[in-house]
A and B are shown apart, each in its own frame.
Chain A
Amino acid sequence: MGVVGFSGQVGRYLSGLCVATLGLCAAGWLALAPVAFGYRTAGRPETSLPSAGLQRAAWADWATAAGLAVVSLVTLACWIAAWRRRLRADGILLPASRRQARRESRTQRRRQRDDETAVRTPDPAQVLSELRTLLTPLLAEPDEDHRLGVPVVPHPRSGGLAAMESMLAGAELLMVGCGEEEAW
């Protein structure tokens, strides 16, 4: 980001903050003015208002001041939040509040846990295909296997039952292998 871009952004946020602050000051002034001035021009009775008009003016000013104060405060808060967010996105401002840092670390931990769970849970289709890949070389030499007394692993058939049979046969093969090792 260049100097021009940075100053443009700062000008944007500063103008928003200035307008909101001016609105807040104007609200304060409007709230005080009916009390402070009484809306009567000293020494010129022809310009003084009748009491009903005075009341209307005072109420209008107070109502406008109240609304303006609320709007200005909300606007000020919004501009501060927007500027802080921008500074944080640019890496100028660090995540300040401890609560936010804690929330971010909790989110990161949860994401890591989810990733680990996803890694730990194997995909059954993938397991079956790996099992078949492992068992295929054993099936390639059936004569030698028969001679050694190793049970034959049937070819996987289509359907879930066939896959289960194939898996069971593989498990049986492994058990026989372990028994032979123990016998040795």
Chain B
Amino acid sequence: MVNRLALAGIAAIFAAGAWLIAAPFVLRYQPAGAPWTAAARLDVAVGAALAAAGFGGFFTALAGRVRELYAQAGTAQEPGGAPE
């Protein structure tokens, strides 16, 4: 339960990053065709950083979980042996 919630939290952070990238265009505080404003630049930069971190973190955590499951399955098949 806690593991799933933690993974969901990372996915939510990724979603927040994606929202920050889209926000200037969705809320129209970046005029079309105009040079980028400071607000839009800041939001897109922070959003990109968050989205990248969330993407990487999610798959790293997921890979760790899958590795753990494989190790558990190996231990279950060989009761006396170590998983690795």
Residues of A near any B CB (own CB < 8 A): 1-2, 4-5, 8-9, 11-13, 15-16, 18-20, 22-23, 26, 29-30, 33-34, 37, 39-41, 44, 46-49, 53-54, 56-58, 60-61, 64, 67-68, 71-72, 74-75, 78-79, 81-82, 85
User: Beyond A12-B63, A47-B38: 20 further Cβ-contacts under 8 Å?
Assistant: A4-B84, A5-B71, A12-B60, A16-B60, A19-B10, A19-B13, A22-B49, A22-B53, A26-B49, A29-B46, A34-B39, A41-B38, A49-B29, A53-B28, A53-B39, A56-B27, A58-B39, A67-B16, A75-B10, A75-B13
CB distance A64 to B84 under 8 Å? no
Assuming A22-B50, A26-B46, is B37 touching A41 (CB within 8 A)?
yes
With a cutoff of 8 Å between Cβ atoms, the chain B residues found around residue A37 in the complex are 38, 42
Residues of chain A within 8 A (CB-CB) of B42 are 33, 37, 39, 61
CA–CA, A72 and B50, complex, Å: 11
The one of B2, B39, B50, B67 in contact with A54, judged by C-beta atoms closer than 8 angstroms, is B39
Taking residues whose C-beta sits less than 8 angstroms from the other chain, chain B's interface range is 35 or more
